[in-house]
Structure 1
Amino acid sequence: MKIAIVGAGFGGLSSAKVLTEFGHDVYVFEKESEVGGVWTASRRYPGLGTQNVRSTYALSDYPYPKGTPEWPSGEQVQSYMAGYTKKFGIDKKIQLNTTVDKAKQGSDGRWTLDITANGKSRTEDFDYLIVANGIFSDPFVPEFKGSDAFKAAGGKIMHTVDFHNLGDVKGKNVVVVGYGKSSCDVANACEGTAKSVTIVARHLIWKVPKKLKNVLNYKMLLLTRMGEALFPYIELKGTEAFLHGKGKKVSAGMLGSVQGVIEKQFKLEKLGLHPKTGLDTIVRSTVSLASDGIFKKIAQGKLTVERDTEIIKMEAGKVHLANGKVLDADYVICGTGFYQHVPFLEDKVMKAITDERGNFRLYRQLIPLDVKNLAFSGYNSSFFSQLNAEIGSVWIGAHIANAVKLPSRAEMLAHVDKRLAWMEWRTENKHARGTNIIPFSVHNIDELLQDLDAQIPVFTRFNQWLLPINPASYKNISKKVRSRIGAGK
């Protein structure tokens, strides 16, 4: 089957590799000049690095090169991904600097893509389309009252992904909007170069240290089955049913202990930076690793945080906050999230795969139920996004081969609706249009493996309750599935 994959981040690359192994003729289209998705040079801000340690942020059969630090930089992740394409020969299947402008589906279910490369346009037909453009592809920057006057006076407004050069803010007053990882990373990086740096945070969220008490790596807390089980899943079984039933004091006590450590380690009360909610809310939509040394800089007065407020208007050289303060500002850098949409799909297709609120209605976060020959890779963002995308790619390969036993259409629709309603409830509508499954990374993998009738060894699953998930534990899944269904090589 001739398959088009749009995007060369982890979702696109793992799909290209896996589906090639399944015996398909794969073509990858990437608009950037290099592979990497959010890790490409055009999207890397100063200070960008992984939230995961190296060992948990790898694809199953390709470890990082020796000498890579425990928390790789953005540049190192991109280099790793480029190495992956060369290792498995998929670099030859990738067309860089190539944009898919439109994808149209014919009555026969095949897709015609309008493609632009090097200023030249063409059309090409495919049997199957995989969308791997990523859920962090289109940055969202708020509209600010008075922004025209601010910019006319030389002020700059941008998203974190468009900020690349620290030298640009030398001697400037920088206001960073947001309190997520990208916002704090950028603010942290600007300190020492900029004249002043102020973080404007509408809401404070919990920050996790890389090491609790500067000793225990946070991977031991959140990147295990036990860490995931501390938060109630849509369906509770076994140990999880106990932890959120008769044993809820146990799970609450564990989270409470960790919260106490973080409070003391970062001196949150003293700094006036204690979130209004408890640590149990840390995974409603995302988890934010604390930028190195940021709380020390705040304590020293090198960085300022204006909490529980927002910019209400701008003027030349200044921003006004809802709390009444007026800040000098030359740069306003926004870590304010992303749009989740697919610009090359027709409106009728988008209406068929999303609900009235724009949520993607995908079974297993992978396939729409009302559009055939279409799948999404990487729309199950998690702690282990690369691994979830890889196992999802195996599921797609098996599905194309009609080797996944699916429930009835009515049951799948009910499943999608129930899951979206639950996600909206537990995240307060902050689930990236149904594409963010944090913290339930392993649950998603388990569900996909169950569909595939492929499991990792029981002993490995047992170890995962106390030890961080090791992607290498899943390196034989694709081979097992292909062998079972008689597909590919």
Structure 2
Amino acid sequence: MTSGSRIGIVGAGVAGLACAKVLSQAGFPVEVFDRAPDVGGVWSATRRYPGLRAQNSKTTYAFSDHPMPEDFPRWPDGQQMQAYLAGYAQQFGLGPHLRLGTEVLAADPVDSGWLLEVRDRDGVHRATCDHLIVANGVFSDPVLPDLPGAAAFRAAGGRLCHVSQFHDVEHARDRSVVVLGYGKSACDVAEAVSHIADETTVVARRLTWKMPRKLGFGVDYERLLLTRMGEAHFASRFPRLAERLLERLAFRQSNMDLLQERVTRKLRLREHDLVPTGPISEMATAGAALATEGFVEQVEAGRIAVHRDTEVVELIGGQHGPAVRLADGSLKLAELVICATGYRQEVPFLTPFVRRALTDEVGDFRLYRHILPVHVPNLSFAGYNSSTASALSAEVGAQWIAGLLTGKFVPPMPELMDTEIDERLSWSRERSGGKHAHGASVIPFSLANVDEMLDDLGTPLPLTSRLAQWVRPLRPTSYRGVLRNHAVAAPVAPAAAVVADR
């Protein structure tokens, strides 16, 4: 593909912005489409819920060449994360490439690339590009459970919404709130509303392990999931020497047992009947959860009640007001029901034929390195390697795509890529019990995934930096030189980005 080839990117979140920056600097004409009016993806004002906060500290959740502002707190909130990404777009001159408030309705493959149908404030238009990058995020399509009784519930004054649609905490004031789910977003929003709601109830089908930010004795969330020693405590697909040594000396299991007990005591899980049924190693399957600050304290104060190992089976309306029925038959007053029930990984704008070529019989995405569909030309994915190092993973992934498009990196033969995808998906399904975000997650092996992409590009991280990562959480700035050296020089006078037929 030549440097004048036009690149269309769907999504202006972390991954989409990283691709726009890297590919525009490589000289490609780039156009980024996002239906939201601002950049940020999950951090957009249109999706932020009360209590939203980054799981990573500002030193690890950053691009290699764009540090967080010094006046940001160690754990930025949703508004600060959006501001950080807006600053990234401004620093690297991405404004002219952005078409915000513009939704991609359809993308059809044609001989010359892709024909797009997009909708903005002026209506529906056509656009074209030579290569399409899907960066709509693995949390793009909110899932609302299909609960019977919704019409009567709403008629009785109840409100039902997904957590991504709940933006104003004041809507919970003096109301009975029920939160469905027990992931990070469920606990975040429950803690936020519990301070002003009349009562707050969390209904958890299954409790999951969560890591406090600090455990003491030099151990914290990032030392477990963002160091090479931490990754070595999880059984990987290709065990390295340190991992085999931990296993042979029985250190891995004993350390995980100690960690589980420490977390149980730190968060006082036994006292509140909040000990999950599975081992703590299950914490890192498709996602990793950071314990919400203040959640346990609100449980202790009686401001949050957790109903574990059950679910809401019906919404109730009537003369006594809105309520929910649990699986055991009990009723719970519920003027506001917030569903923190996850997302689907969807690409609805692609044709059914293309979608079938992208996924297998169980809906898992068949992407080499979580980026490249083997049998669909002129298409790649960004951000489908969901990671505990999201910004860095997206940045390296963008360099991988740039290397592919410029010919600096040549992928293996299709049959070899298919075999690798088969083996990875089979291993991921078995390891996680199918909870691997349809093949779009690399957690807890975020560093290993970055290593793979850099090895493909022939620019591995220097040994000194890799050794430091055994005991110190990754620092994105350590990758600045590697990524700068790999960057492709921009040609003179690039062509117009995307031709729109108005």
TM-score class, shorter-chain normalisation, is over 0.9
The answer to whether the aligner puts 1:118 opposite 2:149 as a matched pair is no
The answer to whether the aligner puts 1:93 opposite 2:97 as a matched pair is yes
CA shift, 1:476, in A, is 2.5
State how far apart, in whole Å, the 2-side matches of 1:11 and 1:286 are.
17
1:14 is matched by which residue type in structure 2? Answer: A
2:140 is matched by which residue type in structure 1? Answer: S
Spell out the pairing of 1:230-245 with structure 2 (5 A cutoff). Answer: 230-244=233-247
Q: 1:29 aligns with which of 30, 33, 50?
A: 33
State how far apart, in whole Å, the 1-side matches of 2:236 and 2:429 are.
13
State how far apart, in whole Å, the 1-side matches of 2:314 and 2:126 are.
46
CA shift, 1:148, in A, is 1.8
Spell out the pairing of 1:132-147 with structure 2 (5 A cutoff). Answer: 132-147=135-150
- Deviations along 1:392-450, whole A, 9 cap, x unmatched? 11000111122223222111101101111111111111111111111111111111011
State how far apart, in whole Å, the 2-side matches of 1:324 and 1:100 are.
44
Q: Cα RMSD (Å) of the superposition? A: 1.4
State how far apart, in whole Å, the 2-side matches of 1:88 and 1:105 are.
30
Match of 1:228 in 2: 231
TM-score (norm 1): 0.96
State how far apart, in whole Å, the 2-side matches of 1:409 and 1:117 are.
38
The answer to whether the aligner puts 1:445 opposite 2:450 as a matched pair is yes
CA shift, 1:215, in A, is 7.0
Q: 1:79 aligns with which of 49, 68, 83?
A: 83
Match of 1:418 in 2: 423
State how far apart, in whole Å, the 2-side matches of 1:68 and 1:217 are.
20
The answer to whether the aligner puts 1:433 opposite 2:433 as a matched pair is no
| Mapped contact 1:109–1:127 kept (Cα < 8 A) | yes
- Deviations along 1:12-64, whole A, 9 cap, x unmatched? 00000001122111111111110000000010000100000110000110001
State how far apart, in whole Å, the 1-side matches of 2:285 and 2:439 are.
13
1:95 is matched by which residue type in structure 2? Answer: R
State how far apart, in whole Å, the 1-side matches of 2:94 and 2:103 are.
18
- Deviations along 1:76-95, whole A, 9 cap, x unmatched? 00000000011111122111
Match of 2:323 in 1: 318
Aligned to 1:207, what secondary structure does the other structure show? coil
Spell out the pairing of 1:186-265 with structure 2 (5 A cutoff). Answer: 186-213=189-216, 216-244=219-247, 246-247=248-249, 249-265=250-266
| Mapped contact 2:193–2:200 kept (Cα < 8 A) | yes
Aligned to 1:429, what secondary structure does the other structure show? coil
- Deviations along 1:93-143, whole A, 9 cap, x unmatched? 11111111111111x241111122213222122111101111111100101
CA shift, 1:147, in A, is 1.8
Match of 1:403 in 2: 408
State how far apart, in whole Å, the 2-side matches of 1:233 and 1:191 are.
39
Aligned to 2:59, what secondary structure does the other structure show? helix
State how far apart, in whole Å, the 2-side matches of 1:406 and 1:215 are.
41
State how far apart, in whole Å, the 1-side matches of 2:491 and 2:122 are.
36
| Cα 1:290/1:214, change in 2 over 3 Å | farther
Aligned to 1:313, what secondary structure does the other structure show? strand
State how far apart, in whole Å, the 2-side matches of 1:302 and 1:25 are.
53
Divergent runs of 4+, >6 A:
none
CA shift, 1:385, in A, is 1.3
Spell out the pairing of 1:449-468 with structure 2 (5 A cutoff). Answer: 449-468=454-473
The answer to whether the aligner puts 1:345 opposite 2:346 as a matched pair is no
Q: 1:54 aligns with which of 51, 58, 75?
A: 58
The answer to whether the aligner puts 1:40 opposite 2:79 as a matched pair is no
Structure with bigger RCO (C-alpha 8 Å, 6+ apart): 2
2:79 is matched by which residue type in structure 1? Answer: E
| Mapped contact 2:451–2:461 kept (Cα < 8 A) | no
CA shift, 1:214, in A, is 9.4
| Mapped contact 1:230–1:243 kept (Cα < 8 A) | yes
Aligned to 1:197, what secondary structure does the other structure show? strand
Match of 2:288 in 1: 287
| Mapped contact 1:213–1:261 kept (Cα < 8 A) | no
Which region of structure 1 is more displaced relative to structure 2, 177-186 or 415-424?
415-424
**Which residues of structure 2 form unaligned runs of 5+?**
493-502
| Cα 1:111/1:134, change in 2 over 3 Å | same
Aligned to 1:268, what secondary structure does the other structure show? coil
Identity across the alignment (%) = 42
TM-score (norm 2): 0.94
CA shift, 1:291, in A, is 1.1
Which region of structure 1 is more displaced relative to structure 2, 41-50 or 212-221?
212-221
State how far apart, in whole Å, the 2-side matches of 1:263 and 1:478 are.
40
- Deviations along 1:267-311, whole A, 9 cap, x unmatched? 111111111011111112211111111112112211100000001
Aligned to 2:49, what secondary structure does the other structure show? coil
Aligned to 2:46, what secondary structure does the other structure show? helix
**Which residues of structure 1 form unaligned runs of 5+?**
none
The answer to whether the aligner puts 1:15 opposite 2:16 as a matched pair is no
State how far apart, in whole Å, the 1-side matches of 2:244 and 2:254 are.
16
1:125 is matched by which residue type in structure 2? Answer: T
Which region of structure 1 is more displaced relative to structure 2, 413-422 or 235-244?
235-244
State how far apart, in whole Å, the 2-side matches of 1:479 and 1:433 are.
32
